Structure 1
């Protein structure tokens, strides 16, 4: 904790950094899962690019590329990291909640993305309010 106070970060900001890094690992994991699907490492029907329907090909390729980029951006704390994650999350929510007859209905993925988005907004709000309060006091 002494290190965070030395550079002027609040506890919320340090926790937010760790939150982003955990989500980064989560994105890398999902990216690897999509690559496994694309290369056909897992032996199941439709789990290889040339056997997938076109809608799965498009979704898998897009997410296999975007998830690792989101992971890099989140880990580096770059401003574009959450944006790329949001694109991935939106795509999966649309896939699994909007078109369950094509992609299947994966309630846990939809809820996980919603929870991460809510936590992100809550962190940003708390950090904003803390900075605003510090400016008024300082």
Structure 2
């Protein structure tokens, strides 16, 4: 027995706790993909309207530069399952949600991106609650 009353050799992570790192890694892959998309926009690789940094309005320049740095940083933190990864991801998600829902006249109307961020945030909360309940039940047994 250990100090907190749970035998460390007998304790095994439950299904929710085992699935949580995989969930974080899927979100990390999407974060890296979003980061690459913003970098493509910055360097002008894609030949589309307003897809080059020098032709973008100032609000898009600020958003693109910020998110092109933050999304890959969040992806790395999520992939490593570091505690700061979800925090940086939340900053990215809140920024994009504010862009597309708060200022659609400047950034366009893309409600699916904001909705996907909300779904990921709800799944994250559900995982954390599930892990807390599993740990509580393991302490009781």
| TM-score, shorter chain, exceeding 0.5 | yes
Matched, 1:98 2:102: yes
Where does 1:7-46 land on structure 2 (aligned, <5 Å)? 8-46=12-50
CA distance in 2, matches of 1:9, 1:116: 22
- SS of residue in 1 equivalent to 2:51: coil
Structure richer in helix, relative to its length: 1
Runs of 4+ in 1 over 4 A off after TM superposition: none
Where does 1:56-71 land on structure 2 (aligned, <5 Å)? 56-71=60-75
CA distance in 1, matches of 2:114, 2:29: 18
TM-score (norm 2): 0.91
Shift of 1:8: 2.5
CA distance in 1, matches of 2:131, 2:17: 7
Higher relative contact order (CA 8 A, sep 6+): 2
Unmatched 5+ stretches in structure 2: 1-8
The structure having more radius of gyration, on CA atoms, is: 2
**Residues 76 and 122 from structure 1, CA distance in 2 versus in 1: closer, same or farther, beyond 3 angstroms?**
same
Match of 1:74 among 74, 78, 96: 78
Unmatched 5+ stretches in structure 1: none
How many correspondences in the alignment? 133
